[in-house]
Chains A and B, each alone.
Chain A
């Protein structure tokens, strides 16, 4: 059966997105390492650009012809993809297998959990906790419930205007009122300053790049940076130590096999106790100039 033409166009486009993403990722990673870029706004912006720019540069028309790839392009990835491998295979087959594996990983680790997040067995929360949450700006109608899980966990779901805060029974048991207060403030920070919209928009762009390992890594780093940002908003002054204690409690509740979560929690505590994120590590003009350079350079890679 011959695949429809739009399918090969889409596959070719996604391949180009991945190529640009990988090249840009290598450049930005090396740059961030070189300038010792700390957590903060600049890093968030660079990570967001890493997700947004490749789909734009890969969509610039007139680059799909063999003529362009062979005579004008700086790099023609068709040459690389055609490199022969043992067994009559080519490099493209290996990369397709990687893309399929990462798509499956995305569905398993990110798409399915996003549907399972709301615990249907959640019970109503104590009125003091509801009052604590509803005192925060924009959360006057926030639904608060308690899930039966023993682990220390606070999450928010819902959409702007209809947020829902879920606190585990384990969190109610282990956290003090000041700790719950700062943890709820952290969750609230996710819903202000456009963070909810940005995170969801970038998640949609990231899903478009499901088979791209760089997009997977970038989005996870972006989520961690958002957590660090929300930590800084929720905890100032003496509350820093309170939030750090909450994070350590969650760390102790996290199994040693969940190394990614434990690593993220350690980073959050380090940044929190190290004075918080550096929000002006590089001038905005520098980030703009770097983006402009990428916009000019990437279309010449096909």
Chain B
């Protein structure tokens, strides 16, 4: 069998270089937060603040048809931080996107103010109802397949997780 000599120093050097690269990988987003792009799949709602830097806004009202846990949670950090949380079953769909951005997200030209809610507008796009809400310096977009009444309940019960 062929001898392997002189590999120990190679392994040590490789480990040192890899440790240095990992440090750079972790340190750069701390020093320059805008360098981390996304989308990043987030495992649980508890992890959202750690990844995107703010707590997500979700509706307290939660019909059983949506299922208990989110189907997926996706974070994006650049150009502006945002998180999209989706609940999806064969019967129902709800997504809530929270965006920390100074500029207003694009809404449909058909959007109209939501009754008794000056901070929100809503519209239909196909079979899905949409609402755009401004709250605490965040833009929150709600999209659901459950219709206008349920959309209203979602918007009325939005709060920080």
Contacts and interface: CB of A to CB of B under 8 A. Distances in A.
Judge: A and B partners, yes or no: yes
B14 A293 contact: yes
Given A23-B21, A27-B17, A80-B24, A283 B5 contact: yes
Contacts of B9: 31, 34-35
Contact of A82 (B5, B7, B37): B37
Interface in B1-46: 2-7, 9-11, 13-14, 17-18, 21-22, 24-25, 28-29, 32, 34-41
B78 interface: yes
A260 interface: no
A83 interface: yes
A83 B28 contact: yes
B25 to A, nearest CB: 5
Contact of A297 (B6, B14, B25, B32): B14
A27 B13 contact: yes
Given A74-B22, A76-B25, A82 B6 contact: no
Interface residues of B, number: 29
Interface string A282-296: 111110011001000
B4 A79 contact: no
Interface stretch (A64-72, A134-142, A167-175, A205-213): A64-72
A70 B6 contact: no
Contact of B4 (A26, A67, A84, A285): A285
B17 A289 contact: no
Interface size range of chain A in the complex: 20 to 34
Given A282-B6, A283-B2, A82 B22 contact: no
B35 A66 contact: no
A18 to B, nearest CB: 14
A35 B6 contact: yes
Contact of B39 (A67, A74, A78, A79): A67
A84 B5 CA distance: 44
A301 interface: yes
A94 to B, nearest CB: 15
B6 A286 contact: yes
The secondary-structure label for the interface of chain A is helix
B11 A66 contact: no
A70 B37 contact: yes
B5 A66 contact: no
B17 A75 contact: no
A34 B6 CA distance: 10
Interface string B58-76: 0000000000000000000
A74 B17 CA distance: 12
Interface string B79-116: 00000000000000000000000000000000000000
Contacts of A273: none
A100 interface: no
Given A35-B6, A283-B5, A74 B18 contact: yes
Contacts of B38: 66, 70
Interface string A12-49: 00000000000100110011001100000000000000
B40 A289 contact: no
B161 to A, nearest CB: 22
Contact of A67 (B17, B35, B41): B41
A264 B3 CA distance: 33
Nearest to A81: B35
A177 B93 CA distance: 90
Contacts of B36: 70, 79
A34 to B, nearest CB: 5
Contacts of B14: 27, 293, 297
10 contacts: A26-B17, A27-B17, A66-B40, A70-B38, A78-B35, A79-B35, A80-B35, A286-B3, A290-B7, A301-B21
Interface of B: 2-7, 9-11, 13-14, 17-18, 21-22, 24-25, 28-29, 32, 34-41, 78
